[in-house]
């Protein structure tokens, strides 16, 4: 019985140490989430306005005038996939991986080639032996700015213009709330697919652009691509910290429940040990009395 008490005590101490770690990770994730969420929310209006300008221009320019608007038979497809570098964040990475896996499987069933540009270790490690990886960015999300988006866009644009692939997609977790992130798949290239609808085009018809629409669009399309990628990075960063905070909070609660259960088990075993010792003493005393 003594060995059992010792084992329960050891388990309780181990779980308590785990609780301290998960609580600390929860606090770190919460502090990082606040900064990441502020960046994301401040950037959303800028991204929305640029999308509006791009939609107005793209709806009125012939696609053949800009190579990034050129629509080709999509035989080769490339996907920029964003996951985290580290785990312990619930289903955050799994949801994006499943979305990309489903997309890849569907395109391959249509006879198309699919390759990836991975941002984050988790996505890269999962697809490393399954899908061709044309580019990878690891250990970048802990601290980044728009220059990371510019590098990704720089790696993606020249191969598209050269005809090495025909469509470019972006998959990331859209941040909805601390406890909710939704994987989204957005087509980036050819950029003509992200233009304004007919009503928006008609409403913008009275605007006069200087310089020409074609010349302005040549500068805006690469900028638009960088902005969308950076938006995905910000959403991914905020979503990762939110998911980790929730995951560590749940883990801390589970540890506390385990500690409570082990404490009850320890007290019951201790009481049983004391009772057994008392019974031995009583039995011994009765035996001595009988002899006397």
In the chain, the domains with their CATH numbers are: 2-23+250-291 (1.10.287), 39-247 (3.40.1380.10)
Q: Which residues of 71-103 are buried (b: 16+ CB within 10 A; e: fewer)?
A: eeeeebbbbbbbbbbeeebbebbebbbebbeeb
**Tens of each residue's pLDDT in the chain, 292 residues:** 455 888 888 999 999 999 999 999 999 999 999 999 999 999 999 998 888 878 777 666 665 577 888 888 999 999 999 999 999 998 999 999 999 999 999 999 999 999 999 999 999 999 999 999 999 999 999 899 999 999 999 999 999 999 999 999 999 999 999 888 999 999 999 875 444 444 444 444 456 667 777 777 778 888 999 999 999 999 999 999 999 999 999 999 999 999 999 988 888 888 877 887 787 777 777 666 766 5
The predicted model scores a pTM of 0.83
Q: How far apart are CA 152 and CA 146, in angstroms?
A: 10
Q: How far apart are CA 276 and CA 281, in angstroms?
A: 9
Contact 226, 219 (CB under 8 A): no
């Amino acid at each position: 019985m003594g060995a059992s008490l010792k084992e329960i005590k050891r388990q309780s101490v181990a779980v308590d140490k785990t609780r301290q770690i998960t609580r600390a990770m929860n606090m770190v994730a919460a502090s990082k989430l606040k900064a990441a969420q502020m960046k994301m929310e401040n950037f959303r209006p800028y991204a929305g306005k640029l999308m509006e300008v791009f939609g107005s221009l793209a709806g009125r320019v012939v696609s053949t005038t800009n190579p990034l608007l050129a629509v080709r038979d999509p035989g080769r497809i490339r996907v920029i996939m964003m996951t985290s570098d580290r785990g312990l964040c619930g289903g955050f990475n799994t949801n994006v991986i499943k979305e990309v896996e489903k997309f890849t499987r569907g395109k391959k069933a249509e006879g198309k080639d699919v390759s990836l540009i991975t941002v984050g270790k988790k996505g890269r490690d999962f697809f490393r032996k399954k899908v061709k990886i044309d580019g990878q960015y690891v250990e970048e999300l802990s601290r980044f700015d728009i220059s990371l988006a510019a590098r990704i866009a720089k790696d993606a644009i020249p191969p598209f213009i050269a005809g090495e692939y025909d469509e470019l997609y972006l998959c990331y977790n859209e941040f909805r709330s601390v406890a909710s992130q939704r994987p989204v798949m957005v087509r980036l290239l050819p950029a003509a697919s992200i233009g304004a609808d007919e009503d928006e085009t008609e409403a913008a018809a009275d605007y006069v652009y200087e310089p020409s629409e074609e010349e302005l669009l040549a500068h805006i399309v690469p900028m638009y691509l960088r902005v969308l990628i950076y938006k995905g990075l910000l959403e991914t960063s905020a979503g990762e910290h939110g998911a980790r905070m929730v995951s560590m909070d749940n883990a801390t609660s589970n540890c506390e429940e385990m500690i409570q259960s082990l404490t009850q088990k320890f007290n019951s075993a201790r009481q049983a040990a004391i009772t057994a010792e008392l019974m031995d003493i009583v039995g011994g005393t009765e035996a001595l009395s009988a002899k006397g």
